[in-house]
């Protein structure tokens, strides 16, 4: 049994707390809202975020210092835009060296940094190599009901990855390890761009053919960008790559798909984000990936099209026309070139 603090009591932090509690761990779920902590502790529910009863071993805290006292692991699950703020507070209050795990899927637009890089920059006693990421096809709504789910954990420090695998694995939550930290984080972040696109496609009334094309050509874009940043192309064929793309692009559980669906139906971005009331990571990640692709001359036509819809007020239908009428080409041409470069190195 371990003492584990989970920072972020949204849908994913709550679902991961259930997995940890089912495994017999003492779980401290931290929220910055006192009212939410009171709800969890008095009724064993967190109704705004997850429609399930919570195990009693989950104790909620609104005091960060108390939540992290004497824990052997801290799981960070706030949205990317809150990572620096939460980690800077954590850095001030942490007096020992528990394993740091994150399950956040995003990239910081201004710096184009991955979440593990942001965490290590804010945490003075941790190196980037120590941080662990947990990612893969995993909707909180299904994990909360103990439906079969598989994820991957990765860290440059392989002992930390194995410790995290042991912490979470159980009969309904299967955990693999991987040594490709960069690929695992990028796969989880970049799939949200394509999921927004899949939602838009469904919102426009396009069919399964269009969605299959988005998923497959989206995977090509993700792989190009990922490999250029040092990821293994094989990672994108695994759970944090194509696995997460499928689950996010095809499910109405997905916040990114749902936001895209509303955009496809003609709603404005600001209204959509207000209506969602939860993290829609793909919006900021589109900005980051589009900027990086432009700077590095990486071809990402779907990401670029989505960027035009989100930030330049372009009509989704016009972007689809633009994508369908690009110049003729061979399907695997540029992707093969990227992958060969990786193997030659
Ligand atoms: N929901 C899922 O099924 C799921 C699955 C896998 C990964 N993720 C990833 O997990 C991360 C969190 O997503 P979520 O779905 O739980 O989001 P959410 O919107 O459900 O919850 C986010 C939580 O973070 C808290 N928060 C926001 N800013 C904060 C701050 N500055 N300080 C403290 N707390 C703050 C909010 O109060 C809320 O409780 C995202 O990166 C998402 O991509 C989500
Ligand atoms: O609800 P979304 O779109 O943030 O996606 C949730 C998970 O990342 C799916 O694996």
Q: In ligand 1, which atom is closest to the CA atom of 85?
A: 31
CA of 323 to the centre of ligand 2 (A): 25
Q: Determine whether the shortest distance from the Cβ of 103 to ligand 1 is under 6 A.
A: yes
What is the crossing angle of helices 11-22 and 158-168, to 10°?
80
Domain interval for residue 205: 182-344
The count of domains in the chain is 2
161 with 235, same domain?
Answer: no
pLDDT, mean over the chain: 95
The predicted-structure confidence for 161-219, as pLDDT tens digits, reads as follows: 999 999 999 999 999 999 999 999 999 999 999 999 999 999 999 999 999 999 999 99
> Looking at the whole model, is its pTM more than 0.90?
yes
* ipTM greater than cut 0.90: yes
The predicted-structure confidence for 241-289, as pLDDT tens digits, reads as follows: 999 999 999 999 999 999 999 999 999 999 999 999 888 999 999 999 9
- Active-site residue 191, yes or no? yes
118 with 198, same domain?
Answer: no
136 with 10, same domain?
Answer: yes
Of the candidates 3, 66, 145, 191, the residue annotated as catalytic is 191
CA of 344 to the centre of ligand 2 (A): 34
Return the DSSP state at 277.
-
Please say whether the dihedral angle defined by the alpha carbons of residues 195, 197, 200 and 206, taken in this order, is positive or negative.
negative
Secondary structure E strands in the chain: 3-7, 26-30, 58-61, 73-76, 99-102, 132-135, 149-154, 173-178
CA geometry: angle at 137 spanning 239 and 25, to 5°? 105
Q: In ligand 2, which atom is closest to the CA atom of 244?
A: 10
CA of 80 to the centre of ligand 1 (A): 8
Q: Determine whether the shortest distance from the Cβ of 323 to ligand 1 is under 6 A.
A: no
Q: Of 179, 213, 246, which residue is a domain's last? A: 179
Q: Of 179, 203, 228, which residue is a domain's last? A: 179
Ligand with minimal distance to 30 CA: 1
d(CA 338, CA 25): 43
Q: Determine the pLDDT at residue 344.
A: 44
189 with 131, same domain?
Answer: no
Confidence of residue 339 (pLDDT cuts 50, 70, 90): low
Residues, the chain: 345
Domain of 325, CATH number, reads 1.10.1040.10
Q: Which residue has a Cα nearest atom 28 of ligand 1? A: 82
**Backbone torsions φ then ψ of 21, nearest 5 degrees:** -65, -40
Q: Determine whether the shortest distance from the Cβ of 71 to ligand 2 is under 6 A.
A: no
202 with 172, same domain?
Answer: no
Q: Identify which of 9, 341, 231, 259 has the alpha carbon closest to the alpha carbon of residue 18.
A: 9
């Amino acid at each position: 049994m371990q003492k584990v603090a989970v920072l972020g009591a949204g849908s994913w932090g709550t679902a991961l707390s259930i997995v940890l509690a089912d495994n017999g761990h003492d779980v401290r779920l931290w929220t910055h809202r006192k009212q939410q902590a009171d709800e969890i502790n008095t009724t064993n529910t967190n109704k705004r975020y997850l429609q399930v009863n919570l195990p009693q071993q989950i104790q909620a805290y609104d005091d960060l210092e108390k939540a992290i006292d004497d824990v052997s692991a801290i799981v960070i699950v706030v949205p990317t835009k809150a990572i620096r703020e939460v980690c800077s507070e954590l850095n001030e209050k942490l007096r020992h060296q528990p394993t740091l795990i994150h399950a956040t899927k995003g990239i910081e637009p201004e710096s184009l940094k991955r979440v593990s890089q942001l965490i290590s920059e804010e945490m003075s006693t941790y190196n980037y190599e120590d941080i662990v990421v947990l990612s893969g096809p995993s909707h909180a709504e299904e994990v909360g009901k103990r439906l079969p789910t598989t994820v991957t954990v990765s860290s440059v420090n392989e002992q930390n990855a194995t410790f995290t695998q042991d912490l979470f694995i159980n009969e309904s939550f299967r955990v693999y390890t991987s040594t490709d930290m960069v690929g695992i984080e990028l796969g989880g972040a970049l799939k949200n761009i394509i999921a927004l696109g899949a939602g838009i496609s469904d919102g426009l009334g396009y069919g399964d053919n269009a969605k299959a094309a988005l998923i497959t050509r989206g995977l090509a874009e993700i792989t190009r960008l990922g490999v250029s940043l040092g990821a293994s192309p094989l990672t994108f064929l695994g759970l944090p790559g194509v696995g997460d793309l499928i689950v996010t692009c095809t499910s109405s559980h997905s916040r990114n798909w749902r936001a895209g669906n509303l955009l496809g139906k003609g709603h404005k971005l600001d209204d959509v984000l207000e209506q969602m009331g939860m993290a829609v990571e793909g919006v900021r990640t589109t900005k980051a990936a589009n900027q990086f692709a432009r700077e590095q001359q990486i071809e990402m036509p779907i990401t670029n099209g989505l960027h035009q819809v989100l930030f330049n007020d372009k009509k989704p239908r016009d972007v689809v026309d633009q994508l369908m009428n690009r110049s003729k080409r061979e399907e695997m041409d540029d992707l093969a070139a990227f992958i060969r470069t990786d193997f030659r190195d």
